[in-house]
Amino acid sequence: MAFDIKVPAVGESITEATIGEWQKQDGEYVNRDEVLLVLETDKASVEVVAETSGSLKIKAQSGDVVPIGSVVGEIDESAEKKEPSKAAPQKEESSKKEATKSSQPAAAEKSDELSPAVRKMVAENNLNPDDIEATGPKGRITKEDVQNHLAQPKSSSSSAASAPASKKAPEPIKIVGGSQEIERVPMTTLRKRIAERLVQAQHDAAILTTFNEIDMSAVMNLRSKYKEDFKKKYDVNLGFMGFFVKAVVEALKAYPRVNAFIDGNDMIFHKYFNIGIAVGTEKGLMVPVLKNVEMMSIAEIEASIKAYAIKARDGKISIDDLSGGTFTISNGGVYGSLMSTPILNPPQSGILGMHKIEERPIAIDGQVVIRPMMYVSLSYDHRVIDGSESVGFLVKIKEGLEDPARMILEI
C-alpha cells in the first residue's frame, strides 16, 4: 500500500511552501518518524516526518513551490528493508584499480605534453619550451617552471641587444590562472520574504531614526554583583537583554503610540506588550516574540530568549513563535555595530537598536570620566509617532537603565 506524503498546513495565511531539501533519497527505505524533507515558508522552516515505514518515492524536487495539501511523494509500505550488500564495494574497488591501470599507459604517452595552463603561459610570454628547465613528473613543464624561467635575469647578450631600444612603459601585473568563478544560488522562500518585508517597510512607512546614549555602569555593576547567584537560582545567565526588555515595557507604557499600529484609517493601540527579539540565523533574520512580557520577570525573559535562540539555531521556530509582536528590539552590538538605523518590522511602528558598549570619556559634574557607553536608536513611523514622543521614549529607556531601581519601583 502506498502512503501519500502531503504538504502540511503550517499557518493560517500560508497557502504554499518551497521544498528546501530532501533528507532521504528516492527509492531509499525510510523508518517511521524519520525526517523526510524540509519545507521553507515565508516565515520559517518546517520538517516533514515519515508517518509510516517503507520505500520512498519522490514526486516533487528541491526548489519546487508546492501548494498546502499537495502530494510531494509517497511511501510504499509493502517494500522490505534491504541489508547493504558487501560485494558491491569490492566490485567497485576492483573497477577502480582496473581504471587506474588502464590510465597509466595513456599518462606515459602524454608525459612530454604541456598542460593547458602551461601552454597558455608559454604562448602569452612567447617562450620556447626547450629553454625552460622542467622539474615536473616525467620531465613535464609545470606552471612553477615557467614562473621561475620568467623570473630569471636576462643574459648579457640579450641585455646588450636591447640597450639601444627605447625604454618600455611598465605593464600592469597579470595573474595567470586566477579564478573568476561565480555561483548563482536561488533565494530561499524565507530570504525572499525577508527582502519583500524590508522593501515594504521602506515604502509604506515614513521612517525616521533618533539616537541617544546610555551609561551602562549601573547595569554592569548590578550584573557583576548578582550574576553568579542569578545563574545558580535560575540556571540562566543574567544578560543585558532582560534589563532592556523591562526598560522598553516601561517606556511603552509612558508612550503608547510607539506600541500602536496603523490599520487603514484607524490606529490600533495595544494594551499588552509583545516584544520581538531579532535573532540572526544562517537562513536569515528571525524575530521570535515574547508575549505579555509585562507579566514576566527578568529571569523568565532571559530563559525565553535562550530557548528561542536554540530553536532558531536548530530550525525549530514555529509560525506562532514569530507572530503577534507589537514592538521589536534588535541587538547589533553582538556583531560589533557601534550605531545603526534598524528597519521597522511591519506593521509595527517602532524598533529599538542596541549597539556595542565602549568605554568613552564623558563629562560628569565638570569632570571628564571614562564610562561604558552604548548608543541606542529608535526607528519609528512618523505617521504614528511624533518627534517629541520618540525622543521621550529613548530618554525613558535611558533613565531606567542608568538607574535600574526606577524599573523596580516603576517610576
Residues labelled catalytic: 382, 386
Give the residue among 85, 59, 83 at the shortest CA–CA distance from 72: 59
Give the residue among 139, 103, 102 at the shortest CA–CA distance from 118: 139
Q: How far apart are CA 326 and CA 275, in angstroms?
A: 6
Q: Inter-axis angle of helices 217-234 and 387-402, to 10 degrees?
A: 60
Angle, CA 12 vertex, CA 309 and CA 185 arms, to 5°? 60
Q: How far apart are CA 289 and CA 320, in angstroms?
A: 9
Angle, CA 285 vertex, CA 280 and CA 286 arms, to 5°? 95
Cβ burial of 17 (10 Å; 0-12, 13-18, 19+) is buried
Q: How far apart are CA 246 and CA 253, in angstroms?
A: 11
Angle, CA 379 vertex, CA 375 and CA 382 arms, to 5°? 140
Could you tell me the three cell numbers for 174?
A: 597579470
Could you tell me the three cell numbers for 161?
A: 641587444
181 CB contacts (<8 Å, ≥6 apart)? none
328 CB contacts (<8 Å, ≥6 apart)? 275, 276, 277, 278, 287, 342, 344, 345, 348, 350, 351, 352
Other Cβ atoms closer than 10 A to 115: 14
